[in-house]
Structure 1
Amino acid sequence: MDSTYRSIRIWTTNGFIVNRTRRSSTDDDLSVCSVNSGQNPARRFTGIDANDGGANGSTKALPSIIGHQTNNLIGVQSKFRRKYYHKVLLVLLILLLALLLIIIIILSVFLNKQSINSLCRSKECLRAAASLIYSMDEKTDPCEDFYQFTCGRWADEHPRPDSVTSNDWFREAQAKIMRQLRKFLQQNITDNEPTTVSKAKLMFKGCMDTKLLDERDMEPLVYFLKQFQLPLIPGGFNLTLEMEDSDQSPEFNWLKSLVLIKKYLGMDLIIGFDILPDPLNRTIKRIAFGTPEVDTALPFNNDDVHKILHKMRRKTIFFETDNDDVEKWDEEVEAASKQTSAGLEAYIVYVKKMMDLYVSYFDPDADSDQIHQQTTAITLNAIKVARRIYKLKDAVENSTTKSSKNPIDDIVYVTVNELQNQTDKLIAPQTLPIWRNYLQWMISDNNIDKFNVSHLQIITSQADIQYLQTMIEYIVSIPTEHLEFYIWLSAVEELILHTTSEMRLLHAEYLSVVIGTESSSPRSLYCTHGVNSLMGMAVSYALVDDNFTRHKLPNVRRMLENIRQAFNDLVRSTSWMDEPTKRETLKKSAGMQSFIGYPDWITNATALNAYYAGVTVNASTHLENMVGVLHWQMQVMLEYFNEPETFHWATSPSNVNAFHIFQANAISK
């Protein structure tokens, strides 16, 4: 082709290439050649006439065609192929939409089926769902009172038993567990069960033998009064009784009696004593002195009814301000009884009848009128002591709450001598040396080499020191007889319920007046609660369930782990914590322990027997059995004083509840 032609290559939709040639400078040769792929000519135009279609070979109109029309040339086959592609694309799109619709339907059916299968349909779930439905009060607008809407009919479906003052889900679940344990404890002792389980059954049997308890009368109570070195008849009674051992009571030492009561019953009277891990270093244990914390010790005296009773007594005690004028006590009794539904008056009547029964054990012919008259006077004096002790305790506790945001800031470490100097400040120049004696009496039954009293570092607080100072000041100012009867009455009230049926009936009448309970729990459940409180790990042996270990336990652990992960995510995403605080929080979360169900070793007879190795039980000595367990617990605490603190269960597995042990960073369920 002539070099004067310049090649223009056009891409068409049909895949061909059209080479257009345009004359550069002359009009002599006007031929146009279309070449496929720039190589082979597809067709040739030798001349085109604008008027006759090129019949005469004229070329006058060709430049305009070349210059304008040939710029928009499209292959003929490409037009048909484009229509074909559009149809194919439309069909494919329709097929794709149909396929997507089918997939959506299949996924919907699958997910719906999966959601149905994921619903819990176990008996427990159905029971919980039914309970929730029947508890709802659908007549209430949830926007107005959501609690009434969800739980308004719960009390109707779950009536409160007459023997309790309130009812809830935990109480009902606990009652079910107690009935299960009762059935287990009523079974005969077998050779296949651990020795500790046999001890629990013997303890239950001794509690149930009310006939033997009536025959023994006040014998167990008298035995422990001697153990506490308390007089059999308080000094405030001006009674001449003919009885054995009446002249053998040791001289009253209030501090030694407090120590012995703590060792045998675990109960704090006037002085609080404990052994606990150092808050700043949990590998070290410290002896702590301060306000009394444990008001009651025996398990039967620690149920909800008795907790309410103690609150009522405190209200009665705090009703009036201090008044040392005994002549005005009649007015206080009358006013307090009106204010607290005859609370104080009912208590004095109860103590009168109790003392009448107790004294008649030594002398059946004793004058009841004389006993009642003297009981009223010394009981009022004991109440005054109790009232002052409670007020001193509450005063320092309230001051601590208001002044200190962080309890750690209030901790004080002192030696025995330093504590003695602190508590003598308010009575100077007098001195009342008690702390060294207290510790020596407390550790007298243990390996005394473990305790170097002179170098012991005692943990207390500014508030506790203030209480101990004011307590000592008060003790030295009151007559010994008042203090003696307060301690004597406190110990007797703990023990006397476990003597005769007549005493228990007397106490039930007192509860009915003060609290309003109409009946008491069956004796079998009463004893089951007691054995469970004292030997919870042993009776929980009956609750061991392989199904729980295999299925329920992993689910609960998974639930707690999910809660932990959700909490960690919230901590990481929160904006009000700085990074160091977040790290410490996440570290604490990672270190939290969970105790769920029951410990693994509870199914091991050897381990379970070793756990209660120091417990002695006899079916004929009910009160001695219970006090023996409490005494053993105190001895173990003293024995392991120098051992590092170990994490343990906050409660027995048979208790329906959950606990967070703040100091141990642990959860027990």
Structure 2
Amino acid sequence: MNAWAGEERDIMGPTVTRAASAKTITPPLKNGNELREAGYLIAVGSRTARFRRKHRNKFLLILLLALILLLLCLTVAMTVLYVKQKRNKPVRICHTKECLRSAANLALSMDPTTHPCQDFYQYVCGNWAEEHPRPDAYRSYDWFREKQNKVYAVVRDFLTHNTTDQPKPVQQAKDLYTACMDTEKLDKLSLKPVFKILKSLGLPLYPTFVNATEHFDYSTYKFDWLEAVINVKTQLGMDVLIGFDLFTDPKNSLVYRLVMGSPETTNPFPSMHNEKKQHIGQRNFVKRNMDYRKKNIRIFNNYYEQNDNKFESLEYKDDEEKAAHIYKLFYAELIKLFILESAPKDSNITELELDQNIFLAADEFYTMSENMYELEADNDTSTGDDDQYLDVPEYDVDEVQAHTDMIVLSNNGTPVPIWKRYLEGVFNISDVELDFKKDKILISDPDLKYMSLMAAYLSRAAPVTVELYIWIKVVEVMAAHTTTELRLLFQRSYDALRQHDLTMPPRSLYCASAVNDLLGMAVSYAIAKPDFLTNTKPKIQVMLSEMKNSLSRLVGKTKWMDEATKLATYQKITEMKTLVGFPDWLLEQGKLEEFYEGIEVDTMKHLENLINIIQVKIKNALNRFRIGNNVTWATDPTEVNAYHTFQENTITVPLVMLQYPFYDLGLDSLNYGSLGTVLGHEITHGFDNFGRQFDKNGNLLPWWTNGTIASFVNLTQCFVDQYSSYFIPELNEHVDGKKTLGENIADNGGVREAFGALKEHLFKNGEEPKLPGFEHLNSEQLFFLSYGNVSIFYLEGAF
């Protein structure tokens, strides 16, 4: 065939004819094209192409099936390999020193023989008491107290070391510690420093009531008790008979107001037995809690030594009589020590007569103390109805005086001007001049009742008895900071009152505590590290932000809050300020000297040092009356606690709370379970049964709707019922669920907020490593383990 023929030939080749035997007669066709169109011609190779197409489709199908099968095999193989690798993959474990320390302490504290679902507290904390023995100085013990003792030890060590290039207040802190530790000098000075102060206060060296000399005419004795009370307030910062302070206006947190009532600051000096401060914010003047027992009146909380015969257990008397007997013996010995050092040596009064007069004086003081206690007890406002404090009355000084005069006259007394003279006398040491037409005084109804009855009582009391009362009140808080003999007298009495031995902590720790109380910012400067601002503080601020977010989510899920209250709650959460670590200005050059301007410290004068610092602080506080309120720290950075300040809507987190055992635990789950729950507790206080009354600006104004308040009260009854069912064997009484409602709500809300914050944190940052020895627990379980551990608290005899 000629595939490339000329033009006259069919390009497909010569014509093809059928065999002669064919029956079909083919009509004549002109050319190949017509044959093809008629279907008689088929392209060359068409059968082969059809065959190829048919088998090519089968081949592709087989190939596709093979590929699918291969992919399936690969998938199975990869899955098997992944599962095998997953099972055999080494678990990420945190081996930092922080994680190892946390793991060891958790393991030692736990009681693994207890099932966590049966007794979670025992499971987490069952062996904590054994691993952390309670010092004899404390009846109760927990992480907070243990950490505070360690802080005092750190402060002590710093104060004993020589340093250079430190600000003046830091050196003054060292000098204050040196003076406190020089007990030999204190014994040598004896009572001379106290005598000097008594003269400046207008008080005698020993009570006139004792009549250490013959022929004393009590009927002609005159004593200006108000002048003495003013001097005590301005020189010692101490309330006697009259309580006075400056607080931010409950309805306008930007300004300060004058506040008066029953005595509040009854001991301005550092105490050896540093009880953990309670969360009260600034509610004291609107809600005074006088719920304490007579036998635990505020004395004897400084020192300890062995009993002597004068304070033997008095089994034949009941508890109240025992307490009264111990108090009177203490006051008698206190008075006698002062008389022996200051009374005329040529007195004709016999020793027996002197002792009789001393015991009469002690008995008279105790009687007046009981009477004043009853007046203060009538001032108890712990009725449980918090809404009554929304409206604290304000008075001008003449209105208070008129009301007082009316009560005095109705009790057959003689009215005398008190309140204007008192306020003028207190502000006389400041740069502020009061305007009694504009400067109103905030006084709650119970406080006004106390002030009036107190004035009526004093109008009929013998001046010599009033002098005796003020003298002992002042001397008992100063005497503990003088000689060894007086310190031992305090401790013997304290021990007899408690009826068990209480070991006195070392003098060094007491002095470190005293320095920390009075010059806390100087101590904080010394232990603060600059990298805190760039390392730890940002992490805590992130935690606080997540805590707020968590609370907002919880609020959003509530059904008992209406939308208006929810919106106001969101706004308060947003506006809540945070103070973390230490003040921003603390490390700035010259700021610490400015903060402590006017303070002088002498290494040879311990008691005078304490008083000088107190006087400077009083004057500074009075001078701020016209300046107005700024957001300030509720505590020193060296205090182991955290605070929510109602009237500033502020959370304060001191520096030492950002250390072990509350923070720096190695894993975020542990940090959120400990510090996070503490912060959540404080945040929730802004919305508990008392905190809900302060709005986003810290003003005591209603911002919850009535319907939401009613729902809240109904829902919180379950808290009251639950906690009231708890019986504390060590105290032999049930918990008062109503009085502890705020704290219980804060505890519950705090752990829920912290748990929600942890979930958000892990979602953003991914899975965390395992804790060594606790690889079987996930992050959420570690959170609750940490929370249970930091919540440890036990009383004497509980374990």
Q: Same fold (TM over 0.5)?
A: yes
Q: Which of 159, 184, 194 is the aligned partner of 1:185?
A: 159
Partners of 1:640 and 1:564 in 2: CA distance? 32
Q: Which runs of 5+ in 2 are unaligned?
A: 1-35, 42-52, 216-220, 279-289, 299-312, 654-799
Between 1 and 2, higher relative CO (CA 8 Å, sep ≥ 6) is seen in: 2
**1:201-255 Cα shifts (integer Å, max 9, x gaps):** 111111111122112111111111122212222221121299xxxxxxx952112
User: What aligned pairs does 1:477-492 form with structure 2 within 5 A after superposition?
Assistant: 477-492=460-475
- Aligned residue number for residue 519 of structure 1: 503
Amino acid at match of 2:408: I
Amino acid at match of 2:169: T
SS at match of 1:205: helix
In the alignment, structure 1 residue 165 sits paired with structure 2 residue 139: yes
In the alignment, structure 1 residue 411 sits paired with structure 2 residue 411: no
- Aligned residue number for residue 616 of structure 1: 600
Shift in Å, 1:391: 2.2
In the alignment, structure 1 residue 497 sits paired with structure 2 residue 480: yes
- Aligned residue number for residue 248 of structure 2: 277
Q: Which of 626, 629, 650 is the aligned partner of 2:610?
A: 626
Amino acid at match of 2:92: I
In the alignment, structure 1 residue 455 sits paired with structure 2 residue 418: no
**Contact 1:426/1:473 (8 A) holds in 2:** yes
**1:16-43 Cα shifts (integer Å, max 9, x gaps):** xxxxxxxxxxxxxxxxxxxxxxxx9998
Amino acid at match of 2:640: V
Q: 1:233 to 1:88 in 2, by over 3 A?
A: closer
SS at match of 2:602: coil
Partners of 1:464 and 1:43 in 2: CA distance? 123
User: What aligned pairs does 1:388-403 form with structure 2 within 5 A after superposition?
Assistant: 388-398=371-381, 401-402=383-384
- Aligned residue number for residue 510 of structure 1: 493
**1:406-428 Cα shifts (integer Å, max 9, x gaps):** 25433111111112122223223
User: What aligned pairs does 1:26-175 form with structure 2 within 5 A after superposition?
Assistant: 85-99=64-78, 108=86, 116=92, 119=94, 121-175=95-149
- Aligned residue number for residue 526 of structure 2: 542
**1:445-485 Cα shifts (integer Å, max 9, x gaps):** 2224x321333111122222222222222222332332221
Moved more, 296-305 or 276-285: 296-305
**Contact 2:222/2:463 (8 A) holds in 1:** no
Q: 1:298 to 1:338 in 2, by over 3 A?
A: same
Shift in Å, 1:86: 4.2
**Contact 1:200/1:531 (8 A) holds in 2:** yes
- Aligned residue number for residue 422 of structure 1: 403
**1:246-274 Cα shifts (integer Å, max 9, x gaps):** xxxx9521122122212222222222101
Amino acid at match of 1:314: K
Q: Which runs of 5+ in 1 are unaligned?
A: 1-39, 46-73, 243-249, 319-332
Q: 1:270 to 1:520 in 2, by over 3 A?
A: same
Q: 1:200 to 1:80 in 2, by over 3 A?
A: closer
Amino acid at match of 2:362: T
Q: 1:587 to 1:357 in 2, by over 3 A?
A: same
What is the total number of aligned residue pairs between the two structures?
571
**Contact 2:205/2:342 (8 A) holds in 1:** no
- Aligned residue number for residue 68 of structure 1: none
**Contact 2:223/2:464 (8 A) holds in 1:** no
- Aligned residue number for residue 558 of structure 1: 542
Partners of 1:654 and 1:484 in 2: CA distance? 39
In the alignment, structure 1 residue 342 sits paired with structure 2 residue 322: yes
- Aligned residue number for residue 581 of structure 2: 597
Q: 1:210 to 1:312 in 2, by over 3 A?
A: farther
Amino acid at match of 1:500: T
Amino acid at match of 1:292: P
Partners of 2:158 and 2:214 in 1: CA distance? 46
Partners of 2:228 and 2:626 in 1: CA distance? 26
Shift in Å, 1:508: 1.8
Shift in Å, 1:104: 6.8
Partners of 2:490 and 2:421 in 1: CA distance? 36
Q: Which of 226, 231, 238 is the aligned partner of 1:260?
A: 231
**1:338-374 Cα shifts (integer Å, max 9, x gaps):** 3159322222222222222111111485755333322
Q: 1:237 to 1:305 in 2, by over 3 A?
A: farther
In the superposition, the TM-score normalised over structure 2's length comes to: 0.66
SS at match of 1:391: helix
Amino acid at match of 1:262: K
**Contact 1:312/1:340 (8 A) holds in 2:** no
Shift in Å, 1:125: 3.2
Moved more, 74-83 or 608-617: 74-83
In the alignment, structure 1 residue 224 sits paired with structure 2 residue 207: no
- Aligned residue number for residue 4 of structure 2: none
**Contact 1:286/1:457 (8 A) holds in 2:** yes
- Aligned residue number for residue 529 of structure 1: 513
**1:149-172 Cα shifts (integer Å, max 9, x gaps):** 221221111112223333221122
**Contact 1:423/1:472 (8 A) holds in 2:** yes
SS at match of 2:210: coil
Partners of 1:638 and 1:282 in 2: CA distance? 17
Q: 1:122 to 1:345 in 2, by over 3 A?
A: farther
Shift in Å, 1:294: 1.8
Greater Rg by CA? 1
SS at match of 1:596: strand
- Aligned residue number for residue 706 of structure 2: none
**1:377-425 Cα shifts (integer Å, max 9, x gaps):** 2222222222222222222324x625x4325433111111112122223
In the alignment, structure 1 residue 374 sits paired with structure 2 residue 374: no
**Contact 1:410/1:462 (8 A) holds in 2:** no
